Copies of this chain bind each other. A is one copy, B any other.
Amino acid sequence: MSTINDVAKAAGVSTATVSRVINRSPSVLPETIARVEQAMMQLGYQTKDNRRLSINQGGDTIGLILSNFNSPFFGLLTQGVEKVARKYGRKLIVASGQYDPELEEEALNYLLNKGCRNIVMHSKAMSDDQLIRVASKLPGFVIVNRYVPGMEEQCVWLENRKGTYLATKHLLDHGHRNIAYISCELEIDDKAERFFGYQKALEEAGISVNPDWVEEVPFGEHGGALAATNLLNKGLPVTALVAYNDFFAAAAIQVFADHGISVPDRLSVVGFDDVLPQCYFTPRLTTVRSPIESMAIHAARLCVEGFESGVSTRFQPLLVRRDSVAQAVST
């Protein structure tokens, strides 16, 4: 258990200054508040009455931590947070964590040092414990697109497993039995959750997952193409495919088409996220909608208004039926 002396030492200030920060004295410089609060968080220091630091200190910004900058998913997420920032007359300070625990923590510390006290974070690499420690001290800290047990009030998340369950069920309902799955290599919670939904739907239909049906590939444009190539190489009687995201689905569809396997006539495909403008696709992609912009808006509101605002934190995925799924034909 750390003491006020530890905090003072770590922050390079006197214990009197730490007291002033805890008691929200107006005489302390914002930089000093930031330094002291960061030291408290890092040391896990608890004030006697377990007092939270006040929301909306550090005033005119919202901090946003993304995993990367270049994807429509994060574009929509940023757009959502910015809508709220604009409403509150705030600007965004943005940093990226690149799915790396150290970079995520660095980004967070950077925003804290900038005096940012309202932070929306897309964290996939820092541990639950680390995030809970920050959340317990910083009511304006909200995790978006991840469920962290122990800080439910400061999370906005999607029921991922339900999404792939719906996708797989939709294919089963169309008579498909040999359903492949494209997963990602990155060990993030969504990976396990989405796979679980796929597995559950199959099991309910009396089908055990065939490991040969499952491909794990890197994120990015080439992942889906690689997965499709691998599935083709194995020459399995697969008639349908659930993809971890729309990118994998889109790239796979092209590779199958190049090999004379057209969608949906010979292969039915369901994506995930619904972040790609449908104007590109022939056939238009049946997918599971993740309402990421809406989730980001709710996360930003939660971050600025506090959890008393009563915004929804748990989001349901929705199956969006378009043209990439057809009835299975017995071969």
Give me the interface of A with B, judged by CB distance under 8 Å: 68-72, 74-76, 78-79, 82, 91-96, 107, 110, 221, 224-225, 247, 250-251, 254, 257, 276-282
Contacts and interface: CB of A to CB of B under 8 A. Distances in A.
- In this complex, the member of A72, A94, A110, A224 whose beta carbon has the largest number of chain B beta carbons within 10 angstroms is A94
A91 B95 contact: yes
B72 A70 contact: yes
B69 A72 contact: no
A94 B92 contact: yes
B279 A254 contact: yes
Contacts of A82: 69, 96
A325 B73 CA distance: 31
Contacts of A70: 72, 75-76, 78-79
Contacts of A91: 93, 95, 107, 110
A276 B277 CA distance: 11
Contacts of A93: 91-94
Contacts of A225: 279
A288 B262 CA distance: 29
A225 B279 CA distance: 8
A66 B96 CA distance: 17
A213 to B, nearest CB: 22
Contacts of A221: 277-279
B79 A75 contact: no
Contact of A276 (B78, B94, B280): B280
A224 B79 CA distance: 22
Nearest to A107: B91
A250 B278 CA distance: 10
Contact of A75 (B69, B257, B276, B281): B69
Contacts of A76: 70
A254 B282 CA distance: 8
Contacts of A278: 221
- In this complex, the member of A72, A96, A247 whose beta carbon has the largest number of chain B beta carbons within 10 angstroms is A96
